[in-house]
Amino acid sequence: MHLLFAAGDNPFTVQYGRCASNCGSASSWTLTVIEQGAPRIGRTELAIASDGRLHARFDLDGSNDEPIYATCAGDCSMVGNWKKVNLTAVLGGTTAELWGHPMAVDSSGRVSFITSDQRFPADIRLNSCAANCDNAANWTSALIRSDGRKSSMVAQGGTLHHLIDDGAGNLRYRTCASNCTSAASWTESGPLFAHDYSQPTAIAVSANGTVHVAYNQGMVSGQSAQVEAQNDRLLYWQCASNCMDPASWSGTVFNAAEGQKGLAMAERNGAVVLGLAQGLEATAKLCTSGCTDGAKWRTVTLDSQARMTADVDPYSVRNCTNNNTPPELATWFPEEPTVAIQPDGTAAIAWGMWMNRQCPGSVLARQQGYGRFTLLR
């Protein structure tokens, strides 16, 4: 099992974790620092190609965002086996990666990820490399769509599948089978699902081609009463074929607020797992088959503010720098889950427990806390 995560507090590090067995125990993990000394680390992503090569993506998030790509094909617990390249110049300057999981590796080993230019409407760029990706010259970056915010992408075979908010209150589904840095190579649906462009989205594709999407709708207006009744709720949809047609999709509606602070999805052999963060708790939803029926899903509470506080008193983590006293307010909250399904069907889920913290004479600030991990059957 493999993990990539940010750790520390100004400076930060990026660490790679590997575990061969008994991964529910922290002592079973080997950790390797592959980046250090950064003022801040943005989103981290890790993908495994069919040949076992690891592909990593993270941002050095200081005064400007600098996208870094890293790869390893040998013993990745050895820092010398990691090769890195700064892609800022390739992307035409500093960029911000969209929420979701927009890095994908297709069956040929081509690596692709999405960035936006931080404006609204935001221009969407695809950044792609076929081989020897630790050399910046082997990357191509191009505009593939204007307008859009929340974005998720996955590869199945040689095809990229993309879910994006169109900036007009809708989610659209897009595919590309080749030459995907050309906007003309993409096929895009019309509006499929209502979405307020602020809430997380996720997409997965089965080996048989079935497409799965999940998202919190957020608060939309100007829609039918039926659609607006889904406001603030988590939705899951599935399509087996002809997925550009809205009539080909069916799904189910879950509870209010679920997934507002983070949403991840994994699929394997028809089973689907959702990792969710909302309010004061992190949860998982699991389904083995027939997932368009809401009754086929079970929900598991992974973590909560109360559980985390019982493990670590947030007031004791660090004193305030201005007077070396404990903060006036300190509470835990979950964010940014990630999910994978192992070959035996076990779901591996990781998430962050962040801290809201206020020191004397300062405003409430959001700070990194601890990573948490569990295995579910």
pLDDT tens-digit map of 87-131: 988 887 655 555 556 799 999 999 999 887 666 567 888 999 999
Q: Is 358 domain-assigned?
A: no
Domain that holds residue 184: 88-256
Locate 112 and state its tokens.
């692709």
Q: Is 13 domain-assigned?
A: yes
Return d(Cα 347, Cα 351) in angstroms, integer: 13
Q: Is 290 domain-assigned?
A: no
- CB count within 10 Å of CB 39 equals 11
What is the pLDDT at residue 98? 52
What is the pLDDT at residue 199? 92
Task: Give pLDDT < 70 ranges for the chain.
Answer: 10, 62-64, 93-101, 117-121, 322
Domain end call among 69, 86, 103:
86
Note whether 40 and 188 are same-domain residues: no
What is the pLDDT at residue 119? 61
What is the pLDDT at residue 367? 83
Note whether 78 and 92 are same-domain residues: no
Q: Is 291 domain-assigned?
A: no
- The number of domains in the chain is 2
The DSSP call for residue 98 is: P
What is the pLDDT at residue 117? 66
Note whether 162 and 112 are same-domain residues: yes
Note whether 80 and 151 are same-domain residues: no
What is the pLDDT at residue 97? 59
Q: What pTM value is reported for the model?
A: 0.94
What is the pLDDT at residue 223? 94
Note whether 96 and 193 are same-domain residues: yes
Return d(Cα 348, Cα 339) in angstroms, integer: 6
Q: Is 180 domain-assigned?
A: yes
Proportion of the chain above pLDDT 70, given as a percent:
94
Note whether 103 and 164 are same-domain residues: yes
- CB count within 10 Å of CB 120 equals 11
What is the pLDDT at residue 42? 77
- Positive or negative torsion for Cα 298, 303, 274, 55: negative
